[in-house]
Chain A
């Protein structure tokens, strides 16, 4: 089996994950990118979306609320604003957040409000999409 890499996901309030994995696919700002062992050092901004990683034959999913990724040959560090593994996502809450965001989007009066609602909606959608993929 190929060499593993260490995936670490940290947020300001917790260390979400620290595990040896085979492959990581992260939502880079300029498009999704995959990382295997011995990747060239790489630093990227992340957008709101889904990060997945493979350990053996299973794939797991994490919802990432934007942040940064630093890739070293044997290590991937994700500095996320917030992150939740698929199995930890509260679907009902995420659904409620989505509806709230949609309502705010409709009622937004200026550009700032609109942008905020849009960002909230994106986060809610990302969470729901990831939650669907729990095994």
Chain B
């Protein structure tokens, strides 16, 4: 059995750990609030944008006029963007994303499709580099402060890849924020674009377009990609903070349990030591009497 001093030291160590995890929990909570506000503000915009593009894209013929909306007949190469956090200590958050990506890649490869990877986020990058996957591009620091510029840069690159024929489809794996305790790794097809809600134009609502319908749509489609990208950034960032918060809360609770158990062991050991000493004294006294 461990000595009293060992147990005491252990208790102190666990307490210190719990202080750290508690602090990390609070930091994550503060960051989460900020990120969530930003995300909600952006989603007002993104939602409107989706509506507009849905209306514009309604009834567009799939005749290749809008290349960004035209599916390729044969898909041979795809580009996968994997969003992960730059840091760990957030439970199974990164792992879930990586596993989703790995399954996705395996499935596509078994269909004979070439997959090239853009790893956005240190954790995903490290994982796939260690396994000698071809990582075409690596990006970090995107989720610290999701912003339009980053989304624009990456989005434009992906569009170029698509238009140059270096990728027939572009996918993003990101973490969808459902609630504080549920963040789902999600696969999203970024290109070619399939706008949602195409039936909005019914009721004979005839629009006037300025400039022409085609020009407008051509102008809007790339922006739609950037918005989708930014939306993914935001959702993943919020998910990361939520995951870290939960993980750190669990850790703090576990620390508390540990401290309780250890204190119990400590007290028991202390009692045992006292009893033993008493016995010695009593035994000694008895021996002297005789």
Residues of A within 8 A of B (CB): 8, 10-15, 28-30, 33, 40-45, 68, 70, 77, 79
Contact = CB atoms under 8 A, between A and B. Distances in A.
Q: Residue among B38, B45, B56, B211 with the most chain A CB within 10 A?
A: B45
B50 to A, nearest CB: 11
A45 B49 contact: no
B205 interface: yes
Contacts of B209: 42-44
B42 interface: yes
B52 interface: yes
A29 B211 contact: yes
A12 to B, nearest CB: 5
A44 B45 contact: no
A70 B205 CA distance: 13
Q: B-side binding surface: helix, strand, loop or mixed?
A: helix
Contacts, number: 61
Nearest to B220: A68
Nearest to B210: A44
23 contacts: A8-B48, A10-B48, A11-B45, A12-B41, A12-B230, A15-B44, A28-B210, A29-B210, A30-B210, A40-B206, A41-B207, A41-B208, A42-B210, A43-B52, A43-B210, A43-B216, A44-B216, A45-B211, A45-B215, A45-B219, A68-B52, A79-B45, A79-B52
Q: Residue among A8, A40, A42, A79 with the most chain B CB within 10 A?
A: A79
